[in-house]
Amino acid sequence: MKTYDAIVVGAGHNGLTTAAFLARAGLDVVCVEKNDYIGGAAVSRQLYKDWWYSNCSYVCSLLRPEIYRALELHRHGLQVTPYGGSLTFMQNGDYFGSYHDHEVAYREMARFSRRDADAYKTYSADTMRQCRFIRDFLLRTAPDPASFKPKDLRGLMDIGRRFLEMGEDRMYETIRFWTMSVAEYLDEYFETDVIKAAMSGSGIIGTALGIHSPGTAYVLLHHKMGDVDGNVGTWGFARGGMGAVSKSIAGAFQAAGGELRTEAGCDKIIVKNGKVTGVGLENGEEIRARVVVSAMDVKRTFLNCMDRSDLPEKFYRRVENFKIRGSSGKLNIALDGLPTFPAIPKGSTLLHSDMHFIDSMERMERAYDDWKAGTWSKDPYVDMLIPTLNDPTMAPPGKHFMSCFVQYCPHKLEGRDWTEEDKQAFANTVIDQIANYSPDFKDLILHMEVRTPADIEAEIGITEGNIFHGELTMDQLLFNRPVPGYAQYRSPVAGLYLCGSSTHPGGGVMAAPGANAAREILLDLKRPNTVPDNFGDD
Amino acid sequence: MTERFDAIVIGAGHNGLVCATLLAKARKRVLVLEANEQVGGAAVTRDFAEGFSVSTCAHLLYQLQPAVSKELGIEPRLAANDLATIALDTSGQHVRLAGDDVSGVGGADRTSYREFRKRMTRFADLLNGHLNAAPPRLGTSDRKDIFKLAKLGFDIRRLGREEMQEFLRLIGMNIYDELDERFESDLLKGALALDAVLGTHLGPRSPNTLMTYLYRLAGNHGRLSVPEGGMGDLTGMLAQAARTAGATVRVAKPVRRIVVNNGRVTGVETEDGESFESLTVISNADPKRTVLELVGARHVETGFAQRINRLRASGNAAKLHLALEGLPAIKGLEDADYGQRLVIAPDEHYVERAFNPAKYGEYSPEPVAEITFPSVHDPSLAPDGKHVLSATLQYTPYSLRSGWDGGARTAFLERVMKTLALYMPDLEGQIVARELLTPVDIEREFHITGGHWHHVELSLDQFMFVRPVSGAAQYAMPLDGLYLCGAGTHPGGGVSGAPGRNAARTILSREKSR
Amino acid sequence: MTDKDKVPSGRDEVPLARDKVPLARDKVPLARDKVPQGRLQTPFYPKLKRVDTLDKWHEWKGYTAADALYCEDMEYFAIRNATAVFDLTPMTKYRITGPDACDYLDRLVTRDMHKVAPGRVAYAVWCDDQGQVIDDGTIFHLRDGEYRLCSQERHLAWLEASAIGFDVTIRHETEEVAALAVQGPTSFSVLDKLGLDGLGDLKPFGLTHFDFEGAELMISRTGFTGDLGYELWIEPAKAEALWDALFEAGKLHGIRAIGTNALEMARIEAGFMAAYHEFLPADETVRTGRSRSPLELGLDWLVDFKKPNFNGRRALAEERRRGSAWRLVKLDIEGNKPAHNAYIFAKPKNNKSEIGFITSAHWSPVCKQNIALGTVRMPHGKPGDTVWVEIYYQREMHWNRMMAAAKVVDKPFWFPKRRSATPPGPY
């Protein structure tokens, strides 16, 4: 029986990234995927006629340009188009839009508060400073503060040096930034409720925290640190939907000689004498390899696919305590035409932007209270987009695809499983919220896919369907992600690695965990590094 | 002719008195000016009904730093020591936490609790080492700062690899998850969750609540005592120590303003028009009151004034005092246990639910409570055979949307009585008199802006290097001659004396290095 | 204002979704944009458009502003030889009033505002607590206790934060005031013809009020050209009439409208600094060390340490003790190749590292000098020092490089006597 150099479990964007970099180093790599399609949560799926749904992730900003370039993803069909702006519908019939043009954006903000409009530049600069601080660490392995290895000490010194370079005052501001809530952070700059509400969404997307929870200012950063073509904070559409990202990485992987197997779900990671030897598939087949890399989340990897006895007990318990919480759901909708939004100016670019329906901080936070009580938000935070306005490939001409990211939505309802009725009621909550601002919306719905965290878990395999493979709280970031002492992509089992979003620097279609894991694996195998360095911000 | 002093301390709260005493012991001529008739600030004992008196704000002593009592040469008189915490259960199946042990829970929880205590007290000790000194400034080339920072790093490393990892993981975490990971018993989780959030604007699910829990344990591992004669007895003792050391303590002398001349502090002026001169003025008042009202923002720079102005300092804790004919019946509670600390926090979700409305400027319809009957230990607080109930209640936001002056007070009190009645069905009949102090009342009576018991919210973004605000965490304010020594400074509130002591030491060492 | 256009204040209580408020969709037809898209036009735009032949415009704080209107050189010489008219309406303006207005401004800026009497104008810089310049601008003491602050950038957030503890009102009034710079040797003669009695007595940095067709016309003897000149401030409704009157009066004095490029040349000759060139507003800098203090910008004379408190005082006092990191220099460079974007070196050869860079440069037609402003690390760049500038210039596609000697000069390159003569002569 053939022994591969490496098996990568899970053909999501991170798994494929690791696989591609390993294959480029000349390794014999197979990537196994349980579904009959690849992409994990970065997929475009044809679930209704000629409509293609980005049915999990739906926009792209975090994808590291270094990886894009190194893997020559443009050759494999990837094209990312920036889009701008966001819009918040207000209950009084007004709206707050954020425009691409600086001056128009200024005027719009000044319509609510001139002070806020003026404060925005300072807010931007302060946030950008934090972005620059963190961006440098994305394509690096987090140093272990408990280690005395020269590499870790160097890494720590490097963080220290960059911190010191900020100067005394900005060091304090950085400490505060990392520990405060997004609501408090925004309060320091803005006075207008709707402006704060519009900006606070980025502080909670994907997390089981509310805008008032300390630590959410960092989550805001997690959504701002990406870039499209060097424009930090900009988001873009992948032409053809998010599946284009995974497809192009898969293309790079296959071009480097890698083997891709779908409908090959991993049942078990096989360990012999403390060393990994391969993977047992759900169909009973066994594949051997010297290295196994799991792109699955940390809980699924260690709790579902391994024997407890193969792992140190303390490690096992820490994995159990790792927090992956289902907090968001999705509605993917095929539309017969473009819905009208009477509040939006005709022909406005705002129609192309992210649309939101919560106009106050209180409503944002109350949405979270519902989740804490074990139910979906009755007045949810919805991040709604119509990608077909920018991308003609996702629906027939004149027809549209609408993506609604919905928060909060729990993995279980007050401890019990979701029923079909629950799902329908959840969907209705969202549809009603949108229909409040678009009278013809309901009539245009041709097909709809409702995805609760439980559905995402069942289909993609992510524990609780959490988009980040684990909460982005301080106790689960950097050297703590996923587990202190094992934050460098290695596991307690020799030859077994992690490369998914449960590892540093976390979730989002970033591919950085996959690339970082590949670097560490190649280092252990004493193979030349194929993973690019940070471009670096100057 | 105005009188001249080496230092003037504004406010005879416990921190102000500690600071004044230490300065006086260093042969400084010190004047303490207290606005109220009584010394002690918020740590006082006063009548609230005829024949009944109570510790008005803080009613339990657990944080007093040993170094403070030692250096001041005071020995607090304690009516009771090592109180247990009893998490009340409506059906009488109470859970009792005493020291490192817990009873009324399953065996697994007992073991877990011991482990938990062991780790938490160890981390609290680590923290404590850094609460008793001014936090270092970052990025300076000052050897003292670098040494302190290195010591912090070294202390964390010294925990050992595994404990260090745990420390760095836990410090930003919420208590809720940690409790969920460890314990089964709802009452146990509820009681510990309450400990973590008392006095803050946080719920157990809020990140940072593990740090606030550790803060509570710092100093004495959370060991609870009841001072004899109430908290006022302790502060009376501190005032005596200050006087003995040579400080002048004057009550009913509210300060109107801190006098600034030519860019530096030169003294204070009282409401009655009297002036006192000093080139060192130390304010035990909260930072907002000190900077924005007593000094005036115009005498400091914009960035600093703005940081002070946006400090989060809205209190959420109310105090309830009941004068009782006798002790209420509590199902399943032994007579001897009436003297313990009783808490109403049936589970961690309950605590979180109590917190929710506070975010929107509403009080908790089902509040959490920390209850003591101090008269059980100290009969001097009530007429013969009668008793006093003293309870801290949460959450009662200072900025109540409806305001506290209308019907809200009565409505809230009704909710409280309803909650208490679940555990003490005959309580209503025992009541002779009652007093509710909301944060607004606390502000009014003790001049604490927002009525917050930590003066400013205790949260990681207002902690240590950045408490009260960045650039002013070492007691000296960016106005020559002005210092803070109250709970708004490092390390924070609670009757610990640490801010007062740290401030005094900072002032003395600055003088030496000059 | 129709109901539909009413701008809601963000502070209004908005009912919650739960309250099931009737939604606007029932009543409101498809909305128009709430804010104008694209560039705005100043009240003088129709006039500028009439004289414009080049169609070269740029955006200035949301407004359309001319780079040049018909010929950059002629426009420049209008400043130095006759009268140039420049539309400065897009400048940000704030009205500051109230009993504490003077104290407030005094704490805000580095200079002593108590010395600025009504009817006087003060050039000022303001800093953050770290002593880094947020912006510079002019403060007009319009009447007792009433001021106008005029600056390049917008600062309401900072101005309001600075107002904590002061009894002042700060109002943004950019759109409410149309403004023209009327600059050049014949500018007084032009204005005199308008029949503005007593204008001749107005000293530099003085201001005075006139009546113009029933509206109040404020004239200050200020400008950004370093020449004799005035700035005119009036309500927008009277803007075009003022323009017409001005051009009628100036017909025989060579009056011309000009664009930004000509003004930029004059500004460098006068040695004036500009935001985004010589400094970056401190509240917008991301990288540490990219902002500048007034001391580093050579504005020591504007920093009054005798004042007990002002923003940045503590940091600046510390900087004065410790020494500054940077120095803004005026350079007279050999040759005639403008030193745009050039590095500055201490020596002509074997340089390991640069000591600074050029921030503004051009060939001065009036001085016949190759001039520049630059920022260099201390202790370099003392007046009289020679530094070396690495100039790249392109001739017919090919690039050339030269190291040019540059002398650090103390005084502005251009400072004619007429600039301060009172009364101004009839040039």
Question: Nearest-CA neighbor of C340 among C373, C311, C317?
Answer: C373
Count of pairs with CB atoms under 8 A, one residue in A, one in B? 102
C125/A223: higher pLDDT? C125
Q: Are B286 and B449 in contact (CB under 8 A)?
A: yes
What was the pLDDT predicted at B1?
59
Reported in sequence order, the residue ranges of A185-274 that DSSP labels E, i.e. its strands, are 227-228, 231-232, 235-238, 259-261, 266-272
Percent of chain B with pLDDT over 90: 95
A198/C14: higher pLDDT? A198
Q: Are C413 and C332 in contact (CB under 8 A)?
A: yes
CATH number at residue C379: 2.40.30.110
Same domain, C181 and C69: yes
Listed residues C210, C227, C258: the one ending a domain = C258
A94 part of a folded domain = no
CATH number at residue C241: 3.30.1360.120
Q: Is the pLDDT of residue C28 over 70?
A: no
What was the pLDDT predicted at B194?
98
Give phi and psi for A487, each to the nearest 5. Answer: -100, 15
| pLDDT single digits (tens) B298-307 | 999 999 999 9
* 8 Å CB contact of B161 and A146: yes
Residues of chain A with Cβ-Cβ distance to B353 below 8 Å are: 373
Residues of chain C with Cβ-Cβ distance to A345 below 8 Å are: 30-34
Question: Nearest-CA neighbor of A464 among A474, A452, A449, A473?
Answer: A452
Q: Is the pLDDT of residue C16 over 90?
A: no
pLDDT band at C148 (very low <50, low <70, confident <90, very high): very high
Nearest CA in chain A to C32: A345
Give the bridge partners for B341, in sequence order: B85
pLDDT band at B406 (very low <50, low <70, confident <90, very high): confident
Same domain, C193 and C63: yes
A405 part of a folded domain = no
CATH number at residue A69: 3.50.50.60
Q: Is C22 on the interface with A (CB under 8 A)?
A: no
Same domain, C122 and C232: no
Interface of A with B (CB under 8 A): 145-146, 164, 166-169, 171-173, 175-176, 179-180, 184, 187-188, 209, 212-215, 314, 320-321, 323, 362, 365-366, 369, 372-373, 473-475, 479-480, 484-485
Rounded to a whole number of angstroms, the distance from the CA of B244 to the nearest CA of chain C is: 38
Q: Give residue for tokens 């992956």.
A: A324
The mean per-residue pLDDT over the stretch B277-289 comes to: 98
Q: Is the pLDDT of residue B124 over 70?
A: yes
* Opening angle at CA C203, ends C201 and C206, nearest 5: 110
The encoded tokens of residue C266 equal 């004059």
Residues of chain A with Cβ-Cβ distance to B312 below 8 Å are: 184
What was the pLDDT predicted at B113?
97
* 8 Å CB contact of A176 and B466: yes
A89, A106, A115: best to mutate for the C interface, most C CBs within 10 A? A115
pLDDT band at C158 (very low <50, low <70, confident <90, very high): very high
* 8 Å CB contact of C17 and A169: no
Q: Are B383 and A403 in contact (CB under 8 A)?
A: no
Q: Is B300 on the interface with C (CB under 8 A)?
A: yes
What was the pLDDT predicted at C9?
40
What was the pLDDT predicted at C13?
40
What was the pLDDT predicted at A26?
97
Same domain, C75 and C96: no
| pLDDT single digits (tens) C379-421 | 999 999 999 999 999 999 999 999 999 999 999 999 999 999 9
Total domains in the fold of chain A: 1
Q: Is the pLDDT of residue C24 over 80?
A: no
What was the pLDDT predicted at A429?
98
Please state, in angstroms and rounded to a whole number, the distance separating the CA atoms of residues B430 and B432.
6
What was the pLDDT predicted at C12?
39
Same domain, C285 and C345: no
Same domain, C80 and C152: no
Percent of chain B with pLDDT over 70: 100
Same domain, C294 and C221: no
In this prediction, the residues of chain A whose per-residue pLDDT falls under 50 are: none
A438 part of a folded domain = no
C30 part of a folded domain = no
C34, C153, C311: best to mutate for the A interface, most A CBs within 10 A? C34
- Spacing of C-alpha A255 from chain mean position: 26
Same domain, C182 and C78: yes
Same domain, C381 and C358: yes
What was the pLDDT predicted at A536?
81
What was the pLDDT predicted at A537?
74
Total domains in the fold of chain C: 3
Same domain, C114 and C79: no
| pLDDT single digits (tens) B362-383 | 999 999 999 999 999 999 999 9
- A215, B108, B208, C44 from A181: Cα distances, Å: 5, 35, 11, 47
Q: Give residue for tokens 């010591």.
A: B151
Q: Is the pLDDT of residue C241 over 60?
A: yes
Residue range of the domain that includes C361: 325-412
Q: Is the pLDDT of residue B344 over 60?
A: yes
Same domain, C220 and C122: no
Enumerate domains of chain B plus CATH numbers: 3-43+66-72+230-311+448-513 (3.50.50.60)
Least confident of A131-145, A221-235, C207-221, C274-288: A221-235
Question: Nearest-CA neighbor of C346 among C402, C387, C377, C391?
Answer: C387
Q: Residue A58 contacts by C-beta under 8 Å, 6 or more apart in sequence?
A: A242, A385, A387, A403, A405
What was the pLDDT predicted at B514?
64
* 8 Å CB contact of B306 and C161: yes
A207 part of a folded domain = no
Residue range of the domain that includes A480: 3-42+58-80+239-323+472-524
Q: Are A498 and A298 in contact (CB under 8 A)?
A: yes
Q: Is the pLDDT of residue C17 over 60?
A: no
pLDDT band at B106 (very low <50, low <70, confident <90, very high): very high
A34 part of a folded domain = yes
Percent of chain C with pLDDT over 70: 92
- Torsion, Cα A236 A239 A245 A246, to 10 degrees, reads 150
What was the pLDDT predicted at C10?
37
Length of chain B: 514
Listed residues C227, C258, C289: the one ending a domain = C258
3-class secondary structure, A518: helix
What was the pLDDT predicted at A85?
85
* Opening angle at CA A220, ends A390 and B135, nearest 5: 160
Q: Is A125 on the interface with C (CB under 8 A)?
A: yes
C267 part of a folded domain = no
A residues 82-111 lying closer than 8 A (beta carbon) to C: 90-95, 97, 99, 101, 103-104, 106-108, 110-111
What was the pLDDT predicted at A230?
82
Q: Is the pLDDT of residue C29 over 50?
A: no
Same domain, C200 and C54: yes
What was the pLDDT predicted at B261?
96
Q: Are B478 and B291 in contact (CB under 8 A)?
A: no
